Amino acid sequence: MDPTKPAKVVKDVVDAATDKLTDVLATVPGAPGSAPPTVEEPTTPRDPLPPKREQGAPETRTPTGAETGAPTIANGQQGAYLTTSQGARLRDTDHSLKAGPRGPLLLQDHHLREKITHFDHERIPERVVHARGAGAHGVFTSYGAAEEITKAGFLRKGRKTDVFVRFSTVLGSRGSADTVRDTRGFATKFYTDEGTFDLVANNMPVFFIQDAIKFPDIIHAAKPHPDREIPQAQSAHDTFWDFVSLHTEAQHHTIWNMSDRGIPRSYRMMEGFGVHTFRLVNAAGETALVKFHWKPKLGVHSLTWEETQMLGGIDPDFHRRDLYDAIEAGAFPEWELGLQVFPDTPEETFAGIDLLDPTKIVPEELAPVQPVGKLVLNRTPTNFFAETEQVAFHLGHLPPGIDVTNDPLLQGRLFSYVDTQLTRLGGPNFSQIPINRPHAEVNDMLRDGFHQQAVHAGVAPYRPNSLDGGNPFPAGDEENAFVDVPVTVVEAPKVRASPVSFDDHFSQVRLFWLSMSPVEKEHIIRAYTFELGKCYHQAIKERQLQCLANIDPVLCAQVATGLGLPAPEPTVPLADVAPSPALSQVGRVWPGDGRTVGIVVDPDGDLDDLHHVRRAVFAAGMVPLVIAPHGGLVADLPVQRSFATARSVEFDAILLAGAPAPAPDALPARDAKAGAADAATVDPRVLLLVEEAWRHAKAIGAWGAGHTVLRQTGIVDRPGVVTGTSGTEVFGEVKQVMAAHRTWDRFPASVA
């Protein structure tokens, strides 16, 4: 697939399918299976179908990292015939072995027992945090810009490294909705030939706590209440706000969660942050402190709060679907890896900011993010469980050239990630699972244990030995050994305490607030008001209002008004901080790759422009979905959404190519959406579509009879609403409106 031609793949399929109604399903990204099914059940034996063309899989390496050269499908099921797990062919899997047709079942039925027993054990524990996630394969290409500060080979100029990325929410269970307000995980496994590097990042640059020992506390507070196990995957509840209002070092991360960053539009449109400061070391042994950043090519964008709530019901898989569909459409998600680089001084500070405090950022205006490479995600997993569920990340997976610092949060994570895999993946050999196998030679002297997949030769898995010829040997500098940087540990008493510099809990929260544009501030006010409004206990609301007073009086007063409570005075002096414009998401323009454009058509109206518009949308790297009163074909084009199945939240823009009359199924008794406008001459579901797109500040375009729809909704001559005489002309302008993501000036902000 050509990454420079987004949406090309879908377009090819669409073009090939337009003359065949039976292929309609295959015209939309997401259709299951690599070949369209037949109506009749197939009866001719054949080998398993290959994966879909956008699907990838872990390389077929041995458990110890050697290349096998086998195709990746060698890891999947083989042959045309149903077998037992031992490969014996079976005649029947629908009837258990019985004493006569009416039973009882016989204990000797091995096939029955094997089938049921395996099924009984199909589930493994979900991750204790980040349980809900979606992954993709890709390639990282280094620019070489970091060569002087690290000896890590994968950062040499032009090096390409295979990666697997898993995005996630933090709080929800495996089956929870994607679009909840939460932090997102952004974990990347670089399969480097010097050992795997895991960059286990989030989409926010700070964390709730400064010391790992408090991780169970914040997570217990944020997860559902232990008595009723509600609410699922949300922070809008008493225990969360109880903790963060008492534990004020959490306030910085909390305002990020309350901002639009907590409700991303897409995984493709999120930044990633390593949060901690890491230490890089070059070949000469010189060190630098760095923070890792991922910068998305498509910019940082968010959903509106109402969209997230609707999507929770309409499409709880919205983010994973968006990721997979974009890759299938050829709109490969891209990020640049960037570094903020700081001198490695004994104080480990920069511009007065403690680099070991994970509740603090270093504003990009003070330390610019320097791009060092590009990540492109170009393949979806073949099997969710084998890849996304079983992938195991760990901060300690570091190649030579990258080392840790003493950040007390980072240090605790170094312990936690192995420990959690022991339970989750059922033993100590999780590195041997295909998705976790390194692409480097492994000779670790680790032996045996549950699910051991390697067959080690030799008799001396110990050092020193002479019986195995001394193998394995320690590597020296010339062999590129990992060296723990010999950082001086200052002599100090053994204490349970934090440095004094960790005590400032409010100045950077204020910095974040002051860096927001007015519309982003409105969203933050709304988020705090909503979340605290869902708490039962007034004491908790009052305590959090006190925290807001220490951040900013306007923020506090607005939220207090919404809660019907007085706004308290600050108890700490308001910090005098310079805003960081880089923190705002608003005010720039971005490419629209993989965006979805809904085109409403009237099969009885003028359809002349439809083919041209569709092509223009493809040419812009976006995916057009035709929305019509019924499925099938309209103007020889496949219909992807009917008025019954379409909902505004899945589209980034709506184009009105017609004004379809109410369809026969526009009956409130059958479809509640049809109850919106009884007397309308246009199908009320189309009016609803446009009204929702309007209040979610999305681009809307209309030509020809489409103007009638706008008139009926009363949305005429308004910001972000484009009208014209031809579809291509209108889409040309709509595209420009979409580049800014939303038309925020539709709704002027009340705060400055």
Would you count residue 166 as binding ligand HDE (CB under 6 A)?
A: yes
# residues contacting ligand HDE (CB under 6 A): 25
Can you tell me the distance from the alpha carbon of 201 to that of 165, in angstroms, rounded to the nearest whole number?
10
Decide if 130 is catalytic. Answer: yes
Residues 6+ apart with CB under 8 A from 216: none
Spatial neighbors of 178 by CB under 8 A, at least 6 apart, are 132, 134, 169, 311, 316, 317, 318, 319, 320
- For ligand HDE, the closer CB: 211 or 542: 211
Residue list 415-434, contact with ligand HDE (CB under 6 A): 416-417, 420
Residue closer to ligand HDE by CB (options 254, 558) is 254
Cis ω for the linkage preceding 464 (within 30 of 0): yes
Supply the minimum distance, in Å, between the C-beta of residue 240 and ligand HDE.
16
Distances (CA, A) of 22 to 13, 29, 31, 311, 403: 13, 16, 13, 29, 56
| List 412, 428, 562, 579, residue binding ligand HDE (CB under 6 A) | 412
First-to-last C-alpha distance (Å) of the chain: 46
Shortest CB 127 distance to ligand HDE, Å = 4
The smaller minimum CB distance to ligand HDE, of residues 168 and 266, is found at 168
408 vs 701, beta carbon nearer ligand HDE: 408
CB of 314 to ligand HDE, least distance (A): 25
Q: In terms of DSSP H, where are the helices of 225-304?
A: 238-246, 251-258
Q: Which is nearer to ligand HDE, 219 or 661 (CB)?
A: 219
Burial bucket for residue 384 (CB in 10 Å: 0-12, 13-18, 19+): middle
Q: Which is nearer to ligand HDE, 394 or 614 (CB)?
A: 394
- Burial zone of 38 (CB within 10 Å; 0-12 exposed, 13-18 middle, 19+ buried): exposed
For residue 628, report the phi and psi dihedrals to the nearest 5 degrees: -135, 170
Identify whether the C-beta of residue 422 lies closer than 8 Å to the C-beta of residue 440.
no
Using alpha carbons, select from 582, 587, 201 the residue that is nearest to residue 375: 201
SS (H, E, C) 454-520: CCCCCCCCCCCCCCCCCCCCCCCHHHCCCCCCCCCCCCCCCCCCCCHHHHCCCHHHHHHHHHCCHHH
- Given the complex with ligand HDE, which of 275 and 657 has the nearer CB atom? 275
Cα separation, 581 vs 363, whole angstroms: 9
Least distance CB 381 / ligand HDE (angstroms): 13
Q: 387 or 602: whose CB is closer to ligand HDE?
A: 387
Catalytic annotation present for 202? yes
502 binds ligand HDE (CB under 6 A): no
Least Å from the CB of residue 267 to ligand HDE:
12
Q: Pick the closer one to ligand HDE by CB: 111 or 132.
A: 132
Residues 664-703 that bind ligand HDE (CB under 6 A): none
Evaluated on CA atoms 337, 343, 344, 349, the torsion sign reads negative
Closer to ligand HDE by Cβ: residue 261 or 413: 413
Nearest to 402 by CA among 629, 195, 210, 233: 195
Task: Determine which one of 111, 137, 202, 550 is catalytic.
Answer: 202
User: Which of helix, strand or coil describes residue 174?
Assistant: coil
Closest approach of ligand HDE to the CB of residue 674, in Å: 41
Q: Does the protein bind ligand HDE through residue 173 (CB under 6 A)?
A: no
| Cα 602 to Cα 608, 632, 656, 692, distances in angstroms | 11, 13, 9, 20
Q: Which residue has the tokens 């217990």?
A: 220
CA–CA gap between residue 698 and residue 304 (Å, rounded): 10
Helix and strand tally (H, E) in the chain?
17, 21
Comparing CB distances to ligand HDE, the nearer of 162 and 671 is 162
Distances (CA, A) of 599 to 8, 31, 400, 701: 19, 20, 52, 9
User: Per CB under 6 A, which region of 201-209, 282-290, 444-452, 614-622 contacts ligand HDE?
Assistant: 201-209
Residue in 409, 613, 616, 659 binding ligand HDE, rule: CB under 6 A: 409
Q: Of 110, 111, 118, 130, which one is the catalytic site residue?
A: 130
Region near ligand HDE per CB under 6 A, out of 104-112, 197-205, 449-457, 698-706: 197-205
**Considering only residues 313-352, where is the footprint of ligand HDE by CB under 6 A?**
none
107 CB neighbour count, 10 Å cutoff? 9
Among 111, 130, 252, 293, binds ligand HDE (CB under 6 A): 130
For residue 268, which phi and psi values (nearest 5 degrees)?
-70, -15
- Indicate whether 201 belongs to the interface with ligand HDE (CB under 6 A): yes
Element (H, E) at 534: none
* Residue 111 · residue 118 · CB < 8 Å: no
Q: How do strand 370-381 and strand 133-142 relate by DSSP bridges? A: antiparallel
Q: Which of 164, 190, 215, 240 binds ligand HDE (CB under 6 A)?
A: 215
Decide: 312 and 357 in contact? Cβ < 8 Å. Answer: no
Could you give the C-alpha distances from 568 to 246, 539, 556, 749, 750, in angstroms and in order? 16, 13, 8, 24, 21
Is residue 212 a contact residue for ligand HDE (CB under 6 A)? Answer: yes
Q: Binding residue for ligand HDE (CB under 6 A) from 8, 413, 437, 521? A: 413
Q: Which stretch binds ligand HDE (CB under 6 A): 207-215, 369-377, 449-457, 723-731?
A: 207-215
Instruction: Tally Cβ neighbours within 10 Å of residue 370.
Output: 17
- Candidates 29, 51, 65, 133; binder of ligand HDE (CB under 6 A) is 133
Q: Does 164 help bind ligand HDE (rule: CB under 6 A)? A: no
Which residues, at least 6 apart from 345, have a Cβ–Cβ distance to it below 8 Å? none
Binds ligand HDE by CB under 6 A, chosen from 129, 250, 355, 525: 129
Nearer to ligand HDE, 182 or 522 (CB): 182
Q: Which is nearer to ligand HDE, 420 or 728 (CB)?
A: 420
Structure-token pair, residue 719: 């910001």
Q: For the CB of residue 196, give the shortest distance to ligand HDE in the complex, in Å.
A: 14
State yes or no: residue 187 binds ligand HDE (CB under 6 A): yes
> Minimum CB separation from ligand HDE for residue 365, in Å?
22
Which of the ranges 31-39, 128-136, 529-537, 736-744 carries the binding residues for ligand HDE, by CB under 6 A? 128-136
Rg (CA), the chain: 28
Q: Cβ of residue 577: shortest distance to ligand HDE, in angstroms?
A: 23
642 near ligand HDE, judged by CB under 6 A: no
Please report whether residue 223 would count as binding ligand HDE according to CB under 6 A: no
Token digits of residue 2: 């050509």
Residue nearest to ligand HDE (CB): 185
| Structural contact between residues 331 and 593, judged by C-beta atoms closer than 8 angstroms | yes
CA 622: distance to chain centroid? 20
Shortest Cβ 109–ligand HDE spacing (Å): 38
How far is the C-alpha of 628 from the C-alpha of 601, rounded, in Å?
A: 5
Rule CB under 6 A: is residue 275 a binding residue for ligand HDE?
yes
Site for ligand HDE in 706-745 (CB under 6 A): none
Q: Per CB under 6 A, which of residues 359..398 are in contact with ligand HDE?
A: 391-393
Q: Which stretch binds ligand HDE (CB under 6 A): 59-67, 129-137, 493-501, 505-513?
A: 129-137
Least gap, CB of 391 to ligand HDE (angstroms):
6
Q: How far is the CB of 39 from ligand HDE (least distance, A)?
A: 40
Q: How far is the CB of 667 from ligand HDE (least distance, A)?
A: 45
Q: Does 185 bind ligand HDE (CB under 6 A)?
A: yes
Catalytic residues: 130, 202
Applying CB under 6 A, which residues contact ligand HDE? 127-130, 133, 166, 168, 185, 187, 200-202, 207, 212, 215, 275, 391-393, 409, 412-413, 416-417, 420
